[in-house]
Amino acid sequence: MSDSDDHTPTYVEAGKEFSRDMNYVPDRITRDARRPEHGPVEGGLWPVEPGRYRLVAAKACPWANRAIIVRSLLGLEDVISLGTPGPTHDKRSWTFDLDAGGRDPVLGIERLQEAYFKRFPGYERGITVPAVVDIPTGELVTNDFPWITHDLFFEWREHHREGAPDLWPADLREEMDEVMQRIFTEVNNGVYRCGFAGSQESYDAAYDRLWTAMDWLEERLSDRRYLMGDAITEADVRLFTTLARFDAVYHGHFKCNRVKLTEMPHLWGYARDLFQTPGFGDNTDFEQIKAHYYVVHTDINPSGVIPAGPDPDVWLTPHGRG
């Protein structure tokens, strides 16, 4: 099964469970193109250079949305430019249909696929977002989404705004890695495992796994403001993009319908707390989110009808978690 936010709009395979393709271009952008202190180095190394790179990230996609949020939290808007494809795509690629003339104003391309092909002619894997593109050459640098946000924090640190949050606190890093891994496998990916299940058996197993994790999160957030304590970390960004899509998409479209997010007091208060924090809600577009899932996933929603609700104003109600 290919990545659910890639170039192909057919995701459900009869009789099979969903499995995400995690093979991405593994290049890293580091200070002076040095070997990074954390994580693998399986691809090339590119130097940190303000103004050189463009982050291409659709607000509709949760994996891309997290990169947009981290870029904003760290104050890198003037250091790394942002290109935003529209919420829908076809079999070939994400497209820049939100921009004048249907072209990215910096890269001059109509399809993100062009940057992939510039570096890898005939690239056969998914044309995914987020993607970092080298502006001078127009070539893809990397689409390895977990490491993109990691490196925005560790490698671009000298360009962060004054007072930027410590998204990877050293004393919590070991526990945070465990929390983020569970969030990724059971929640971020868990909703897709439900939505693209190809059999009743695989759906039932996915549903149970998801709600076991959601109950764990509800309990964890009962005695702390954020996942790791009193301050926002990368773990919160990674969970938020799934929670922001839960009632609008995953509850119905992906059949994750035991209860709504709004019916889980601690998770719902926590989600609103983040939404009302600069960098989160102002980078969340519910109309684009709904358009992406309900239009692109034709095997789940063949009519292409986009639901009118839920009312986004509920995200602005008091959360009581200060």
Residues in binding site: 94
Distances (CA, A) of 234 to 148, 169, 238, 240, 263: 12, 9, 6, 10, 25
Q: Which residues contact 45 (CB under 8 A, 6 or more apart)?
A: 27, 28, 29, 30, 33, 34, 35, 36
The answer to whether the beta carbons of residues 56 and 153 sit under 8 Å apart is: no
Contacts of 234 (CB under 8 A, 6+ apart): 70, 149, 150, 153, 167, 168, 176, 180
Name the residue among 96, 140, 97 with its Cα closest to residue 117: 140
Residue 131, beta-bridge partner list: 56
Whether 65 and 284 have beta carbons less than 8 Å apart is answered as yes
Q: What residues are labeled active site? A: 61, 192
**Could you tell me which residues are annotated as the binding site for glutathione?**
94
DSSP state letter for 135: T
